[in-house]
Amino acid sequence: MKHGKYRFLAMAILPALALHVIFVLSPYAQAFYLSLTDWTGVAGQANFVGLDNFARLGEDPLFLSALGNNALMLIVVPLATIAIALFLASMLNLGGRRGRAEVQGVAGGKVYKIVYFFPQLLSVPIIAVLWQFVYSPNNGLLNGFLSAVGLDGLARTWLADGSVALWAVMAVMVWSAVGFYVVLFSAAMDSIPRELFEAARLDGAGRLATFRSITLPLVRDNVNAAFVYLGIAALDGFALVQILSVGPGGPDGATEVIGLGLYRNAFSFGQFGYASAMGVALFFLTLTLAVIAMRSGRRTKVEMA
């Protein structure tokens, strides 16, 4: 009997495992190996160069500015997205008050939830093209809006001004991600027993105190997961930058991200080996981030008794 069980388990697991090894693990292994070669990407031969490619990373000014930009994105994008999403989700689910103790969402919350989710339905290239129109210097929505409300002084060539270009890109990332996390946090908040909020309200807790002491600790797991996902997204940003930014990656490296450098080195410069080294570096950065986020999440976990 036991024998049969193992055979069944093997049959269930092995095909998926085989696919995973062939299509996920083996490309990873290959990238690790390629990062130690000078492979051009267009021939079957490659020479082993040891850690040369990794040494070159440290001297590549574009890679270094990409690291800096990705680091800033890593701080700003998850924080901003999660803050906005938490605010919107708690307004949608717990913002309303009725009677002496009842806690509910604001009116029309369901409609808002759907509207916020819209950007999630668009693919990144479409979002990028859309925002290119928004940021367009002469007849773009943003500059048009600014001049309509008399703030002409603030209008600028958003994507060609090195001091604001990266912020313009990050704003798009936040805009396109918020909706998903509103829905995620809403679901988490839905599962918190209403009595907790009502008890807090009876005890005289305001919205902010309720949020800090009840809502946030009880959706902590979701917030941690969000940090990991958003962190990974912030370390990427390739597709958006590739289509939206000047250059791309400009002006003058202002919006350069690791993925873009990787793509350029592989497909424009014929340096697949060096590009693989960038990929390996990115892999370890992402892995480190995920581990840190998971560990910090474990410590602060609150059990609902």
Residues that bind other proteins (CB under 8 A): 25-26, 28-30, 32-34, 36-48, 56, 62, 132, 135-138, 157-162, 246-247, 250-253, 264, 267-271, 274
Instruction: Work out how close the CB of 286 gets to other proteins at its nearest, in angstroms, rounded to a whole number.
Output: 16
67/244 with CB nearer other proteins? 244
Instruction: Work out how close the CB of 14 gets to other proteins at its nearest, in angstroms, rounded to a whole number.
Output: 16
- The CA distances from residue 165 to 99, 114, 133, 162, 255, in Å, are 48, 29, 15, 5, 7
Q: Which residues contact 291 (CB under 8 A, 6 or more apart)?
A: none
| Structural Rg of the chain based on CA atoms | 24
Instruction: Work out how close the CB of 41 gets to other proteins at its nearest, in angstroms, rounded to a whole number.
Output: 6
45/123 with CB nearer other proteins? 45
- The CA distances from residue 53 to 33, 48, 187, 277, 281, in Å, are 12, 10, 46, 6, 11
CA-to-CA distance for 25 and 30, rounded, in angstroms?
A: 9
29/122 with CB nearer other proteins? 29
Instruction: Work out how close the CB of 239 gets to other proteins at its nearest, in angstroms, rounded to a whole number.
Output: 15
Tokens of 129: 């093209």
Residues linked to residue 236 through DSSP beta bridges, in sequence order: none
Instruction: Work out how close the CB of 134 gets to other proteins at its nearest, in angstroms, rounded to a whole number.
Output: 12
State the number of CA atoms in the 13 A half-sphere of 220 facing the CB: 17
Write phi, then psi, for 156 (nearest 5 degrees).
Answer: -155, 175
234/258 with CB nearer other proteins? 258
36/85 with CB nearer other proteins? 36
